[in-house]
Structure formats: structure tokens, C-alpha cells
A and B are shown apart, each in its own frame.
Chain A
């Protein structure tokens, strides 16, 4: 219960952050050349100044900037993100359509990076300065330095074009309609390369942190106590090192949720996945500022949610957290 209160408090504290972001980005977008109406007019193939004035009035764009901001925030409180002139739908609808693939991709990449980062980090730390450590650490460095979009392209060349094992893009095979398990398998097949592509750099980061954290914990006094108790190495590691060493990695997930979401912009573009990241890219290209602002809002919410879950997880792992006020 105490844990929930604590995480709830953190959640409440992130509301001002959310407003700060929205106000900041809203004001920033005022500097953008052209507004939604301009984009609309361009879409319609031009129009006269009178129509533009009418439209501006309709969307409240003729008001002063503080008024517009107040209007926007007030609509936001009612969960109304405005209307996307490009897609001809409410922004909320557009975003909701695009959210599932992104969440799927992020969950898959995070699980992949976390699991293998953990395993390789532990192996490297157990064999510190021996060949498995050197190999894993070197691979980690190379993964870290690999631009994800480039890795994605090369993976397409190898696995889709030459070997033809996996599809080169899209979320599912549009050629044939599938249902149930077959559809799931199809989507999973489509997500393998994007997951690897997005997860690679995080795998590198996690394995490096896990290795360092293991080495640090292995040097702590209580590990010496555990050895002095007559525990064998396996028991020392599983009972006294692993959980303690996991803490920095869990913290990192929260800190990097935003980075991962940002990474999905590029990866979704490479693999033509109809997700939030690709939507962000499209709305920049098409100057759909309403949608862009909506995406900013939703991605901030997403990051805050991830951090909330991470807080809960951390508090479960570390009893000291719930003791502090």
C-alpha cells in the first residue's frame, strides 16, 4: 500500500512536468512557419484569403496566443486533442489508431533488450577480463555505435531480399486476410526485424550497465559475508548479487523510455510500420501541427506511465524505498 502511495505521489508530481512540456511545445509551435490553416489550404490546392480568415476564426486561430493556449489546455482537460486537417479526423482518433503498433514494438524491444542485456551482462561480469567478457563487451560497443536505421536497412537486405526469410516492412501481410493465431504469427514475423533494430542499442546499454553493476555489487561487504557463510558462487550470485545489481538497470528503463520512443520514429519509418513514430514524422513533413502537439502529449503520457510502472517495480525490488518518506 505504501508503495502505491509513493508511486502515486510521483505520478502527481509529473502533472506539472506534463503541463510544462505542453506549454513549451505549444509556444514553440507558434514560431513555425505556417499554421494548420495554411496546411489545409495547401491540401485543398489553394484558396482565397477570405476562406482562410473564416477557417482561422473557426479554429480559434485569430485569438491572441495566450488565449489560444488557454483554449488548448482547456480542451486537453476534456481529452480533446483537436482536429487533424490532414487526416480529416480528430487527432485523438488518428493517434489511437497508430498507438498499438508502437506499444507492441516498444514492449517487444524492451523485453528483448532487457532479457539479453541481463544475461550477457551477467556472463560478462562472471568472466571479467576473460574471453567471453571481451567478446560480449566488444559486441556491446559495436551495437552501441550502430545507427539503428542503417542496421534496419542492412537487415532488410540480408533477411528480406537475399534470404527472403522475413518480410521487409509493414505490420501484417495485406495480401491475404488472416484471423486469430495466424494473424498473430504474421504480425510477430513482421515485428522481428523492427524489434531487433530498435532493441539493439538498448541491449548494448543494458548489458554494459548490468556488467558494471554486477562487478560493483560483487565487491560489496555483504557479498563477502555471503561467502563467509559458506555459500557457493551460484548461490552467492543468485541470492545476493543479482537482485541488487538489477536496480540500476530498472532505473535506466525509466530514464530511457523517452529515448526508446524517439527511436521508434526512425525504426517505424524504415519498416513502414503504421505507428506513432511514423505519424510524428508524417505530421512534421505535412506540417500537421495539431497532430504533432497531440503526439507530444501522448508520448509524454506514455513515458510517464512507463516511469510509474518502473517506480512500482523498483519499490518491490528495494525495501528501502518504501521506508523513506
Chain B
């Protein structure tokens, strides 16, 4: 439990955790605080923030409550970020593990595929996927997961490459263990911590990708997403810039929180690096 103690010793990591918990609380409280549909008409359009107690953060161009959209947006961002990250880490870990463990032609083929995914700009691939499969919440989430796996795959592979010839793995082999026993029982537990830490980065990028898609009006238009709102606010940017500004701050805080927690975990799990 040294790691937990080390985590809480870093102020940045604690701030990150507090921010993240706040965003999660927002997502959980959304339905309770705003039982109505956040995309439904609520009042006069373009009410400035702090002018009407009914709409503390004002209303957007079509008279929808910005505060409600920000609260519901937390749900969407966390949901898409979390699920897409899970998809990316699962695919990445599996492919990376096999490529790194077996090497040779298995590695060659898997790495060619990874390289292909990395050579193609991920946002362009995302556009293609959305163009083909449409932009519902599900397809967008899966698409973001699918474009995000190469980096964790490379990381896992690198870990496996360095671990597979470690003496303790050789020892396992001389004891008569099968490949799967070695991969799952001996190597993976040692390879996983950096990958899990990297999930923080993947999640941050996933949230940014979704918001960018939504901003371009290529994400699901039927959910209250921060990116959607920023895109909407663009039409009234000259005067009512707050419509875009407020959800942007929400994204910034969420991504910052995820990154800080990820970095805090990294420092807590690899204390040697931290001391430098």
C-alpha cells in the first residue's frame, strides 16, 4: 500500500483525483438535478450566465439550459472516454502481448497492421469510420476505441519484448510451463502496470477526439455533448462567446483531471522515476 501513500503525497495527483471525482459527481447528479431532457427548450435563447437564477450558466441559441447540458455532457464524455479506452486497451494489450511474446512472423504481421493504423492520421480514419457507419453514440464510441489501440499495443509489445527473455520467464519455461501460462501468469502481471497508467492518456485523447467530432457535427446530435454545444455556440461566437466557452472549460477540466490521475498513478507505481 506504499503506492497509495505515494499517490496522496503528490498535490497534483490529489487535485486530479478531486477534479475527476467532481466530474463523476456531475455525471451522477445530472438526472437528479435536471430531470428534464437537457436538449428540450427551457427558456429564452441566449441568456447570459449569472443574469437569471433559473439558468446559472445561461441558455444557448435555441434556449436550452447550458448548465443542464454541461452536467449531462459529463455523462457522455466519461462514457465514451471510458468505453473507448477499454476497447483500445483490450485490443492493444492482446495484440501487443502476442506480437511481443512470439516475435518472428507473428510480430511482423501484427506490427505491420499497427504501423498502418499509425501511418493513417487517426482523425482521418475516424472520419472514414463515421462516414461509413454513421454517427450514433455506439458507433462513435467503438470508432474512437478502434483508432486508439496502436499506442497501447506498442507499449505492451515493448514490455513483452523486454520481459520475455528475463530469467524468471526462462525459469518458468524450464519448469515446463505452456506459452499461455507464461503469457498470462508470468509476463502480463509485470507488463500491465505501465499499460494501465497509459490508459489515462488514451482516455484523455478519447475525450478530446469525441469532442472534436461533435464540434464538427459528426457525433451523435441527439445527446447533450460538450462538443456539440461548442459547435452550436460557434454560430453566435461574435457576441455570445460564452456558449462555446463554458463547455470548453468542462472538457479542459475533465481531460486535465484524467491526465493528472494518470501521471499520479505513474509516479506512485514507479517511485524510482519520481525521485529524479
B residues 187-221 with Cβ under 8 Å of A?
204, 208, 211-212, 215-216, 218
Is residue A216 within 8 Å, beta carbon to beta carbon, of the partner chain? yes
- Interface 9-mer from B42-50, B68-76, B88-96, B122-130: B122-130
Give bound CA distance, A171 to B128, whole Å: 26
How many A-B residue pairs have C-beta atoms within 8 angstroms? Tell me: 153
- Interface 9-mer from A11-19, A56-64, A75-83: A11-19
Partner of A17, one of B12, B115, B128, B254: B115
Partner of B216, one of A17, A24, A281: A281
Which residues of chain B come closer than 8 Å to A161, judged between CB atoms?
237-238, 241
Partner of B252, one of A25, A33, A147, A289: A147
Cβ of A14 and Cβ of B230 under 8 Å apart? no
Q: Contacts A266-B212, A281-B127 known; A28 to B132 CB distance under 8 Å? A: yes
Is residue A269 within 8 Å, beta carbon to beta carbon, of the partner chain? yes
A residues 122-160 with Cβ under 8 Å of B?
128, 141-142, 144-150, 153-154, 156-157
Which residues of chain B come closer than 8 Å to A313, judged between CB atoms?
none
Q: Contacts A25-B128, A28-B132, A265-B127 known; A154 to B245 CB distance under 8 Å? A: yes
Which residues of chain A come closer than 8 Å to B208, judged between CB atoms?
147
Cβ of A141 and Cβ of B260 under 8 Å apart? yes
Is residue B255 within 8 Å, beta carbon to beta carbon, of the partner chain? yes
B residues 21-54 with Cβ under 8 Å of A?
none
Which residues of chain A come closer than 8 Å to B132, judged between CB atoms?
28-29, 31-33
Is residue B176 within 8 Å, beta carbon to beta carbon, of the partner chain? no
Nearest chain A CB to B105 CB, angstrom units: 13
Which residues of chain B come closer than 8 Å to A309, judged between CB atoms?
none
Give bound CA distance, A215 to B273, whole Å: 10
Q: Is the interface of A mostly helix, strand, loop or mixed?
A: helix
Partner of A144, one of B126, B134, B251, B259: B259
Is residue A262 within 8 Å, beta carbon to beta carbon, of the partner chain? yes
Partner of B131, one of A20, A146, A292: A292
Is residue B244 within 8 Å, beta carbon to beta carbon, of the partner chain? yes
Is residue A284 within 8 Å, beta carbon to beta carbon, of the partner chain? yes
Give bound CA distance, A28 to B128, whole Å: 8
Cβ of B112 and Cβ of A16 under 8 Å apart? yes
Is residue A261 within 8 Å, beta carbon to beta carbon, of the partner chain? yes
Q: Contacts A149-B215, A263-B123, A266-B212 known; A28 to B118 CB distance under 8 Å? A: no
Cβ of B128 and Cβ of A296 under 8 Å apart? yes
Closest 5 CB pairs of A and B: A262-B123, A150-B248, A262-B121, A145-B255, A145-B256
Nearest chain-B residue to A129 (Cβ)? B276
Cβ of B255 and Cβ of A144 under 8 Å apart? yes
Cβ of B212 and Cβ of A147 under 8 Å apart? yes
Which residues of chain A come closer than 8 Å to B248, judged between CB atoms?
146-147, 150, 153-154
Cβ of A147 and Cβ of B116 under 8 Å apart? no
Number of residues in B with C-beta < 8 Å to the partner?
48
Partner of B124, one of A146, A261, A269: A261
Is residue B120 within 8 Å, beta carbon to beta carbon, of the partner chain? yes
Give bound CA distance, A287 to B122, whole Å: 19
Cβ of A150 and Cβ of B122 under 8 Å apart? no
Which residues of chain A come closer than 8 Å to B260, judged between CB atoms?
141
Give bound CA distance, A219 to B133, whole Å: 50
Which residues of chain A come closer than 8 Å to B256, judged between CB atoms?
141-142, 144-145
Nearest chain A CB to B249 CB, angstrom units: 9
Give bound CA distance, A262 to B126, whole Å: 9
Cβ of B118 and Cβ of A255 under 8 Å apart? yes
Is residue A315 within 8 Å, beta carbon to beta carbon, of the partner chain? no
Nearest chain A CB to B199 CB, angstrom units: 16
Give bound CA distance, A269 to B234, whole Å: 11
Which residues of chain A come closer than 8 Å to B116, judged between CB atoms?
17, 20-21, 24
Is residue A236 within 8 Å, beta carbon to beta carbon, of the partner chain? no
Is residue B222 within 8 Å, beta carbon to beta carbon, of the partner chain? no
Nearest chain A CB to B248 CB, angstrom units: 4
Nearest chain-A residue to B113 (Cβ)? A20
25 sampled A-B residue pairs with Cβ under 8 A: A20-B112, A21-B120, A28-B129, A29-B131, A33-B132, A141-B259, A142-B252, A145-B252, A146-B252, A147-B251, A147-B252, A148-B212, A150-B211, A150-B252, A153-B244, A258-B121, A259-B121, A261-B121, A265-B123, A266-B123, A281-B127, A284-B131, A289-B131, A299-B124, A304-B119
Nearest chain A CB to B267 CB, angstrom units: 12
Give bound CA distance, A263 to B127, whole Å: 12
Give bound CA distance, A14 to B119, whole Å: 9
Is residue A303 within 8 Å, beta carbon to beta carbon, of the partner chain? yes
Partner of B127, one of A21, A260, A280: A280
Which residues of chain A come closer than 8 Å to B211, judged between CB atoms?
147, 149-150
Is residue A295 within 8 Å, beta carbon to beta carbon, of the partner chain? yes
Among the interface residues B113, B208, B218, which one has the most CB atoms of the partner chain A within 10 A?
B208
Q: Per-position contact with A for B222-264: 1 when CB-CB < 8 Å, else 0?
A: 0000010010011001100100110010011111100110000
